[in-house]
Amino acid sequence: MTGLNRKDILGLQDMSPEEISLILETAQSHKEILSRPVKKVPILRGKSICTLFYENSTRTRTSFELAAKIMSADTTSISVAGSSINKGESFKDTLLTLEAMGVDLFVIRHGASGSPHFAARTVKSHIINAGDGMHEHPTQGLLDMLTILENKGKFVGQKVLIVGDIMHSRVVRSNLWGLSKMGAEVRICGPKTLLPAEVDKLPVKVFTDLDEAIDGVDVVNVLRIQLERMNRGFFPSVSEYASMFGVNKNRLLKAKSDVLVMHPGPMNRGVEITPDVADGDFAVITDQVTNGVAVRMALLYLLLGGAGNVASA
Ligand code: CP
């Protein structure tokens, strides 16, 4: 496969294993640029990229902006605060206005699931989903996969445990689709109250006991407790959650001896992960962040600059 035959990146559920492989290979080749003394290539000169974020972000937004600047694209950044969204301008009108200014590609984060899909139907510009509600966060899924591939060399047969607030997590939805398509065994674990409805229809093994779930796994991906999305008590207290579902040194002893510890960030240290594990020898959390820039460079290249994208707008 030489190019992506699609206009938008909305999720990993509808992506083929060949497309995922192409993105990860492209990211691996682009990563070398990040270690150069002068991190600048002219590939996307003349292209205009807008990050349109209706929710907070540090990693996703900054890494998209850095990726675009490294590839010489022009970038604009729109948030709710400081824009006419705050005066009541609709999502549709915001998109049409910015497209009329010449934006070639929108990176969109929105609290409502499906917003990037609506955007993809509304404008001819390319759309990349940077996290939509409780649905998907495909670039996080891809950067997590790249980190696993770099460290383990393959996906087939890898046992990947994702533990935490499964219900509210768009990270888990992208990871489970991507990893299962590539042949990994995906386990999810969390309190019953934080498992989504119809979890039995997903391509995962479901656990509610972390000590059982962590047994023999190659990777532990720890999710943040998303207190901001919870409108009622899903567990008795934060300290009880930490004692039952927190990843600590003792629990890690049950995983493989070369286990990888991952976290998409931001972390609640002392809640879902202890500081010694977050900063310990098995953690690849900052490597995930670096891989985020590489994956986003790859996607911008494949949608805007790469040969063979026959679905360019
Ligand atoms: N992992 C992630 O999406 O982080 P941000 O919310 O900081 O972008």
- Ligand 1 atom closest to the CA of 264, numbered from 1: 1
59 lines ligand 1 (CB under 6 A): yes
What is the CATH architecture of 17-136+290-303? 3-Layer(aba) Sandwich (3.40)
The highest-level CATH class for domain 138-286 is alpha beta
Determine the average pLDDT of the residues in 188-217: 96
- Ligand 1 atom closest to the CA of 62, numbered from 1: 8
* C-alpha closest to that of 261 among 137, 151, 156: 151
133 CA to centre of ligand 1 in angstroms: 13
pLDDT confidence of residue 136: 98
Pocket of ligand 1, candidates 53, 57, 109, 285: which has the most ligand atoms within 8 Å of its Cβ, to mutate? Answer: 57
266 CA to centre of ligand 1 in angstroms: 6
264 lines ligand 1 (CB under 6 A): yes
115 CA to centre of ligand 1 in angstroms: 17
pLDDT confidence of residue 305: 87
Name the segment(s) of the chain with CATH classification 3.40.50.1370: 17-136+290-303, 138-286
Tokens representing residue 61 in the block = 């937004």
pLDDT digits (tens, 9 = 90+) for 139-152: 999 999 999 999 99
b/e 109-119 (16+ beta carbons within 10 angstroms → b) = bbeeeebbbbb
226 lines ligand 1 (CB under 6 A): no
pLDDT digits (tens, 9 = 90+) for 98-129: 999 999 999 999 999 999 999 999 999 999 99
pLDDT digits (tens, 9 = 90+) for 252-268: 999 999 999 999 999 99
Q: Rounded to two decimals, what is the model's pTM?
A: 0.95
58 lines ligand 1 (CB under 6 A): yes
265 lines ligand 1 (CB under 6 A): yes
Residue nearest to atom 5 of ligand 1 (CA): 57
pLDDT digits (tens, 9 = 90+) for 20-34: 999 999 999 999 999
Pocket of ligand 1, candidates 55, 60, 263: which has the most ligand atoms within 8 Å of its Cβ, to mutate? Answer: 60
